[in-house]
Amino acid sequence: MTYSAQIDTDRAVPLQPRAQGALCLVAKRRGAQSVIADLRQQGALKALFPRSYGRTLDAVFLNTAGGLTGGDRMALDVVAGPGAHVVLSSQAAERGYAALDGHVARVDVTLQVAQGARIDWLPQETILFDAAALDRRMSVDLAGSAQCLIVEPVIFGRVAMGEVVHSLHLRDQWRIRRDGVLVFADAIRLIGDADALLARAAIAGGAGAMATLLLAAPQAAALAGMLELPDAAGASLLADDLLLIRLLATDGFTLRRDLIPLIEALSSAPIPRVWRL
């Protein structure tokens, strides 16, 4: 098995020591269950495996550094072998802290889903504080009959704490391929005065939190007609097997309250316990 998750040592060394981590997980089907076939953990990224009574392999990853700041490097590589079903979440909300000028945290996620397999990528929210700097890349490779559900929620400062994000560097790139063919590409770029950018009607209309959900599965079209979307959400059926949902909210609590029913509707497995309000 070849892993793509590795710590990038070719880049310039930051001015101060930064956190690095790599997590590689391979799942396989054993009878009716999905189980660990291989696991490698390095640096600040670790994985926990709560007891599951279903057929999925439930994995919860955590960043032991306690958050992300400029110069941090994290890489996650998850492989679902033929017929396996992996549900991934994070132990807690990730936090993007203020970074030194010119130093950006980087997170690379690679998901490989074999024939008849499925991955549900369900991390909890990423909370970005003032002066946070984060580049994140999501790459998903699907076999012909593979399925995936990708969910990424982001909170721009905590309203209850009176936090305002004046300065921000966020680049979030998704690439989804099926049998090597690009079927979905998306990029978010918010750099500068986040408070002003988020106030623009074409971006967030003043919302303090947002989420993107993508379902790549044969049942996408049928599920699209059954969803009950909140007022600040929109759905696009990009293809019969590709459903995209964008969601805005005033704060993190409202975002999670609105997200949970959508995740439950789109997932074929129970929502991870860490998601419960």
pLDDT tens string 119-166: 999 999 999 999 999 999 999 999 999 999 999 999 998 887 878 888
- pTM, rounded to two decimals: 0.91
Looking only at the bridges linking them, the beta strands covering 181-193 and 132-142 are unpaired
Specify the pLDDT at position 4.
54
Specify the pLDDT at position 162.
78
Specify the pLDDT at position 211.
96
Cβ atoms of residues 122 and 263 within 8 Å: yes
Question: Distance of CA 122 to CAs 100, 113, 271, Å?
Answer: 29, 15, 9
Specify the pLDDT at position 16.
62
Kindly give the parts of the chain with pLDDT less than 50. 1-2, 7, 9-10, 13-14
With a CB cutoff of 8 Å and minimum separation 6, the contacts of 184 are: 174, 175, 176, 214, 216, 238, 242, 244
Edge to edge, the sheet with strand 105-113 lists: 33-43, 20-30, 73-80, 105-113, 132-142, 167-178, 181-193
Specify the pLDDT at position 6.
53
The position carrying tokens 């007022």 is 231
All structural domains of the chain with their residue ranges:
20-275
Q: How many CB atoms lie within 10 A of CB 156?
A: 29
Specify the pLDDT at position 216.
98
Specify the pLDDT at position 14.
47
Give alpha helix (H) positions in 187-235.
Answer: 194-199, 220-224
Beta bridge partners of 48: 60
Specify the pLDDT at position 127.
95
